Structure 1
Amino acid sequence: MLRAAIIGLGDVSPVHKYAIDASDNGELVAVCDVNEALKTKYPDVPFYTDVETMLEKEDLDVVHICLPHYLHYPITKLCVEKGVHVFQEKPLALDYEEGLKTLALAEESSKKIGVCFQNRYNETFLELKRLLADESVGAVKAVKGLVAWHRPETYYTTKPWRGQMEFAGGGSIINQAIHTLDLMQVLGGEIDRCKASLSNLTDYDIEVEDTAVANFTFKNGARGFYMSTNAYVENSSVELQVITEKAKFTIKDNCLYRSNSSGEKELHLQDTPMQGTKFYYGPSHSALIQRFYNAIETDTDDYVTVRDALPAMLMIDAMKLSSKEKRTIEMEEIINVES
């Protein structure tokens, strides 16, 4: 059994604990958080307030990093250098530049670094990829991603780092809707350029955006439209749509639909719901974590790697720069600067 630890006992840590407990080959043996008040959150598991102390005292195989964004790279680096595999919650890093540093870390080490883009393993998304691989539907012409969620002001005041650019790296685009950006580039392919506008529809005292819209142009000529906001009244279902030369597919409410010749949506497949977690996180944390654990044991790359996760960071940097400079950004501009 792989000996696992969770670093950071915030909102998403129960999802990781559930997945570890449900895995075939993982066992939660330690947790760590600077807040001693969280010691009772998992009373049967040894609790630490210092990562280095935990790494010294526990014989760990893998750690799950569920920390604020600005801590992802330094804690990942510390763990990998101590000889421990790392499974990171999203995002990969604060920005594309830091993502490249994480990539270098992964390539220089024998230890694996996985990234939690679990929605890639939703049954509906896997089926959509299979359908798109069928030449009869034609090439992808457009991809649309919509995320309308709600975050109250207390979301930011209780954990101020979430509203500070230095520590969060962004708002809705990196904290809530990064999964949708990731799926869009998986479906559409390599991105050529981006035009975006980031703004705030709420009156919260935060530096990061709560709303974003963007147009992406893929290198294959396909177009992408993206919108995300935290200014809605509830966490509405994410919508992901793909238009090909001969078909239209939509994922919404954890269902995959195919539009018929009359334009009516016909249900094709529904995700199996995962109990005990927030529905809008997606149902596939367990699937991805199991895959990562298997990859550790068999020494394969059959999981979401750092290189797989980099395009989403590139998209986010391009959106921020486009909004700031009010112009279309060529992806090569960012790639060339950082390389």
Structure 2
Amino acid sequence: MTALGAAIIGCGAIAPLHANAIAAMEGARLVAAADSNDAQAAAFSTLYGCETVPDYHELLERKDIDVVHLCTPHYLHAQMAIDCLNAGKHVLTEKPLAVDVAAARRITEAADRSKGQLGVVFQNRYNEPSQKIRQIIVSGELGPLLCMKAVVTWHRSEQYYTESGWRGKWATEGGGVLINQTIHTLDLLQWFGGEITSVKGKVSTDVLDDVIEVEDSAHACITFADGVKGLFYGTNAYPVNSPVELELVFEQGTLLQRRDCLYLWQDGREKLLCEPGTVTNGGKSYWGTGHQLLIKDFYQHLRDGRKFWLDGREGIKALEIIADIYRSSDSRKLPVTAAAILSN
């Protein structure tokens, strides 16, 4: 088997999950890494045994690079992805696909023209509770899905934003808690519920309004095409990172995810269906365990010549929900830069 050569652009906190996943696979090899921070790139290359390049454009013409992993800040995703796809490279990008829907569509169009494939990292779809929930919905074993809710109560400090240089700003992050932290949960809601017919929501900055331009809290009511109602609440204003809570009510039972365990409540009794896997990939606990599974699946699709299922058209769906929440919120309280995002 000829190994697929990989490069990682962006050597920050999320990059080790990608590097470790590549190292764990047969038929894949991390060849190079690129980062605007020379010291960070050097440390990363020493740790993972790859070379560094000062400019990602150097990767585009190299025949030993087949796959490019984008682990960069949000605002860099679009141009980097388009450049790599235009060069015929496969691209696996961290969420969000882009800072707004218009840019995400440009990436998807570039993927349509490219010899390379595009994949988007929504790793929570690969977590065992998510897979089990999806299986139950598709099988219909609990009858029709009636309604569901999701609650994300996390914490982000002032330092988290001030040290980054790009977080907390509309132009570079594309939003706040919606696009950075809770986008995974919104993606799960639409994956479970299917086509969406309406979204109504509100955003606010409850704690860090003197630090960030964007929201730290949001809630929304989502209506799906088959009549399912979804309720969502997310915030970065909680003092700790509490586990994500999900509830899905079916005609014949209720699924509840608490502390990454999935339970079935039926006939007055609660039954444990699955427990979380152990995080062994170097990531933070709230990132889940799905990165390695997703990356392995992406590479398997490439080797088999099959189209990867979590592509640009799937990746854009959560961004569309976020845009709808912003649009339905009180736009008079949002800065002009936010209005520009909504217009897309």
Q: TM-score, normalised by structure 1?
A: 0.93
Is residue 291–residue 303 contact of structure 1 (8 Å, CA) maintained in 2? Answer: no
CA distance in 2, matches of 1:196, 1:22: 42
CA distance in 2, matches of 1:70, 1:45: 26
Alignment of 1:172-321 (within 5 A): 172-203=177-208, 204-262=210-268, 264-275=269-280, 276-321=282-327
2:57 to 49, 52, 61: 52
RMSD: 1.5
CA distance in 2, matches of 1:116, 1:84: 17
Is residue 143–residue 187 contact of structure 1 (8 Å, CA) maintained in 2? Answer: no
1:42 to 26, 40, 45: 45
SS in 2 for 1:266: strand
Match of 1:331 in 2: none
- Alpha-carbon deviation of 1:274? 2.4
Q: Which amino acid aligns with 1:20?
A: I
Please tell me whether residue 112 in structure 1 is matched to residue 117 in structure 2: yes
Give aligned-pair identity as a percent.
Answer: 38
CA shift digits 1:144-196 (9 cap, x unpaired): 11111111111110112111101111111110110000000011111111111
Match of 1:143 in 2: 148
Is residue 252–residue 266 contact of structure 2 (8 Å, CA) maintained in 1? Answer: no
- Alpha-carbon deviation of 1:102? 1.5
- Alpha-carbon deviation of 1:58? 6.4
The verdict on how the C-alpha distance between 1:300 and 1:57 changes in structure 2, with shifts beyond 3 A counting, is closer
2:29 to 27, 30, 49: 27
CA distance in 1, matches of 2:164, 2:313: 30
Gaps of 5+ in 1: 327-336
Is residue 23–residue 286 contact of structure 1 (8 Å, CA) maintained in 2? Answer: no
- Alpha-carbon deviation of 1:225? 0.6
Please tell me whether residue 103 in structure 1 is matched to residue 108 in structure 2: yes
1:85 to 87, 90, 103: 90
SS in 1 for 2:330: helix
Q: Which amino acid aligns with 1:15?
A: L
Match of 1:330 in 2: none
Equivalent pairs counted in the alignment come to 327
CA shift digits 1:231-273 (9 cap, x unpaired): 11221111122111221101222211001222x5321111322
SS in 2 for 1:17: helix
Q: TM-score, normalised by structure 2?
A: 0.91
Is residue 119–residue 308 contact of structure 2 (8 Å, CA) maintained in 1? Answer: no
The verdict on how the C-alpha distance between 1:322 and 1:124 changes in structure 2, with shifts beyond 3 A counting, is same
Q: Which amino acid aligns with 1:165?
A: W
1:18 to 17, 20, 36: 20
Gaps of 5+ in 2: 333-342
Q: Which amino acid aligns with 1:4?
A: A
CA distance in 2, matches of 1:287, 1:311: 21
**Structure 1 stretch 48-57 or stretch 23-32: which is displaced more?**
48-57
1:322 to 328, 331, 334: 328
SS in 1 for 2:243: coil
CA shift digits 1:267-303 (9 cap, x unpaired): 1111322213211001010110011001111111244
2:135 to 107, 130, 134: 130
CA distance in 1, matches of 2:101, 2:308: 23
SS in 1 for 2:200: strand
CA distance in 2, matches of 1:319, 1:53: 39
